[in-house]
Chain A
Amino acid sequence: DTGVSQDPRHKITKRGQNVTFRCDPISEHNRLYWYRQTLGQGPEFLTYFQNEAQLEKSRLLSDRFSAERPKGSFSTLEIQRTEQGDSAMYLCASTLPGSLKETQYFGPGTRLLVL
């Protein structure tokens, strides 16, 4: 069990550029969640997958945000035409199969800075 990993850990980009973040969940975890965390706030739910199916995406912040999990393993979160307000920590978490009460295991996050 190597834990949830995220890549890159830090990303600096210019306004208007596209960025893509990757999350590798713990193997055999079939649920994967994306959150955004801004300074001084708790994480904010964005979207989640069960295997390759994206079961909730209404909380994605705008149509510039999209996520995929094509083979039910790793996931990517893309932000198109970045804005300064997108600067935040983007967190990924995964859970074991089973009930909704399962513990979410978090990765270290990707910190995005949009200049």
Chain B
Amino acid sequence: AQSVTQLDSQVPVFEEAPVELRCNYSSSVSVYLFWYVQYPNQGLQLLLKYLSGSTLVKGINGFEAEFNKSQTSFHLRKPSVHISDTAEYFCAVSEGSNYQLIWGAGTKLIIKP
């Protein structure tokens, strides 16, 4: 069965420092991969998605992610974080023939001033 693992429940980082949020998935078929962000008291918002093509995907707010098929990973990165990036980040996967998203448990990004 499909599963998504976000290895860190919380990631503290200083403002203007780079950050990487890790996501690994298990699937034996082609997948589509997503990162969503949930700001405090708000709904989930799509950051970026990988469907096919270039393995480096750029999203909103300066985030990018790289699909690595051999390592079954889709890590999210930002070169310089801002206090406004404080949120919870969720990785999700959907199989090519499926309709639902399978989600990781989320990673809280904590920005230290």
Q: Which A residues lie at the B interface, using CB under 8 A? A: 4, 31, 33, 40-45, 48, 55-56, 59, 91, 93, 100-101, 103-109
Q: List, in ascending order, chain A residues with CB within 8 A of B43's CB.
A: 4, 91, 106-109
CB-CB nearest in chain B for A109: B43
Whether the Cβ atoms of A108 and B42 lie closer than 8 Å is yes
In order of increasing CB-CB distance, the 5 nearest A-B pairs are A42-B103, A106-B44, A45-B100, A106-B43, A108-B43
Q: Which B residues lie at the A interface, using CB under 8 A? A: 4, 9, 32, 34, 36, 41-46, 49, 51, 90, 92, 94, 96-106
CB-CB nearest in chain A for B96: A100
| Bound CA–CA A42/B9 (angstroms) | 11
Q: List, in ascending order, chain A residues with CB within 8 A of B4's CB.
A: 42
| Bound CA–CA A20/B94 (angstroms) | 28
Q: List, in ascending order, chain B residues with CB within 8 A of A40's CB.
A: 9, 105-106
CB-CB nearest in chain B for A92: B43
Residue in contact with B100 in the complex, picked from A56, A91, A109, CB distance below 8 Å:
A56
Query: Max chain B CB contacts within 10 Å: which of A31, A42, A105, A109?
Result: A42
Whether the Cβ atoms of A56 and B99 lie closer than 8 Å is yes
CB distance from A99 to the nearest CB of B (A): 9
Residue in contact with B46 in the complex, picked from A31, A41, A103, CB distance below 8 Å:
A103
Taking chain A's interface residues, is the majority helix, strand, or loop, or is none over half, making it mixed? loop
CB-CB nearest in chain B for A47: B100
Q: List, in ascending order, chain B residues with CB within 8 A of A33's CB.
A: 100
Q: List, in ascending order, chain A residues with CB within 8 A of B36's CB.
A: 106
| Bound CA–CA A101/B104 (angstroms) | 18
| Bound CA–CA A103/B45 (angstroms) | 10
| Bound CA–CA A108/B43 (angstroms) | 4
Whether the Cβ atoms of B44 and A101 lie closer than 8 Å is no
Whether the Cβ atoms of B105 and A41 lie closer than 8 Å is yes
Q: List, in ascending order, chain A residues with CB within 8 A of B100's CB.
A: 33, 45, 48, 56, 59
Whether the Cβ atoms of B105 and A42 lie closer than 8 Å is yes
Whether the Cβ atoms of A55 and B99 lie closer than 8 Å is yes
8 A-B pairs whose Cβ atoms sit less than 8 Å apart in the complex? A33-B100, A41-B103, A41-B106, A45-B101, A48-B100, A101-B94, A107-B43, A108-B41
